[in-house]
Amino acid sequence: MKTATSAIIVIVFFAAMAIFKLCAYTVGEQEQIIITQFGKPVGDPVKTAGLHFKLPFVQVVNRFEKRVLEWDGPSARMPTRDKVYVVVDTFGRWVISDPLLYYQRMRDERSALSRLDDILGSETRNVIAKNDFMEVVRTTKDRVVTRDENLAAADSRIGLLHPISRGRTQLEAEIFKSSLPKVAGYGVTLLDVRVKRVNYNDSVSQTIYERMISERSQIAERFRSEGAGEAAKILGQRERDLKTIESEAYRKIQEIEGAADAKATEIYAKAYNQNPESVKLFEFLRSMETYKKVMTPDTTLVLTTDSDFFQYLKSSEPPPPANDLTKSLLNGPSLLDLQPK
């Protein structure tokens, strides 16, 4: 009897636990609940975290995020007002503000993201089409740009930002403002929309790159030509300086050599003008040195008999004995040794 009673108690306990489990559900801090009965919402959304109860079997718990959700839109090709085709990539943040309406209109997050793609993509296209390309790529109209003087001299368009009236920040605000009431009808609150990236269309990107390369090549060629001109100027100045230095050095050499020749001539004059014999000895030595330079094995001389150059070749007799002065001069250094070197 006791065993049967214990078994009944255990069965009742597990049955009660099963019924409690079917009736009870928990709500986390990061979620909100919609209770549906036969597919239709029942009651108000449950947003308070904790333990809650529902009818078993006939009611179903539908859980939705309470946290901020991410929307990353696909890249879309669209034209600007000045007919420049760009590829715009946007992203945003949103929350489920009305879970009941969200369930009725969307049912799940996948449907919500698809609807956001349509709404935000359409509003982005409309805003981009109403503004010029510079308005899309520039962040703010208050930006101050310092231009490089060399680039400004090469091409007045390079390094110059065209003035804008709005800027990308205001365009993002306009996209957000126009999208906000449209997504609110789906139980969603849009928190922010931003442009992640703006690229040229692939069909014009190559043309843009080629134009950029051409502009930079023109600037580089200008710098090269200016450098070549400066190099030629420096080389010309170097040649002028070199010729000036060489001419000045040559003038100083001539002055030194002239002074040395004058000094040597003075020494010769003092040495050989002491008496007639010294003069004759000087003439004899000079003639001998001249013979040595002029008369080589392959030289032919045609002289008259009364030529001064021929006077020492007239006779083969030995010269008369020299006095003491002549001997000292003959034993001394030759005339060539006395010349400056």
Number of domains the chain is built from: 3
Domain end marker among 183, 200, 217: 200
Flag whether 81 is in a domain. Answer: yes
Tell me if 279 sits within 8 A of 273, measured CB to CB: yes
**Same-domain check for residues 242 and 323:** yes
**Same-domain check for residues 255 and 281:** yes
Q: What are phi and psi of 26, to 5 degrees?
A: -110, 150
**Same-domain check for residues 186 and 108:** yes
Indicate the DSSP class of residue 33: E
**Same-domain check for residues 196 and 311:** no
Whether 219 has a pLDDT exceeding 90, the answer reads no
Q: How many CA atoms lie within 13 A of 249 on its CB side?
A: 6
pLDDT in tens, 85-111: 889 999 999 999 899 999 888 888 899
Tell me if 174 sits within 8 A of 234, measured CB to CB: no
Tell me if 92 sits within 8 A of 191, measured CB to CB: yes
Indicate the DSSP class of residue 146: P
Judged by DSSP in three states, 89 sits in: strand
Indicate the DSSP class of residue 310: G
Whether 70 has a pLDDT exceeding 90, the answer reads yes
pLDDT in tens, 303-334: 776 776 666 766 545 455 545 444 444 454 44
Scanning the chain, the segments in alpha helix (DSSP H) are 2-23, 99-105, 109-129, 133-137, 149-154, 168-184, 202-272, 276-294, 324-331, 335-338
**Same-domain check for residues 255 and 182:** no
Domain that holds residue 41: 2-65
Flag whether 101 is in a domain. Answer: yes
**Same-domain check for residues 180 and 85:** yes
**Same-domain check for residues 76 and 51:** no
Q: How many CA atoms lie within 13 A of 154 on its CB side?
A: 21
At which residue do the structure tokens 């001389």 appear? 301
Domain end marker among 139, 174, 200: 200
Residue 215's contacts (CB-CB under 8 Å, 6 or more residues apart) are: 155, 158
pLDDT in tens, 10-66: 777 777 677 777 788 888 888 898 888 888 888 888 888 888 888 888 888 888 888
Domain end marker among 43, 65, 87: 65
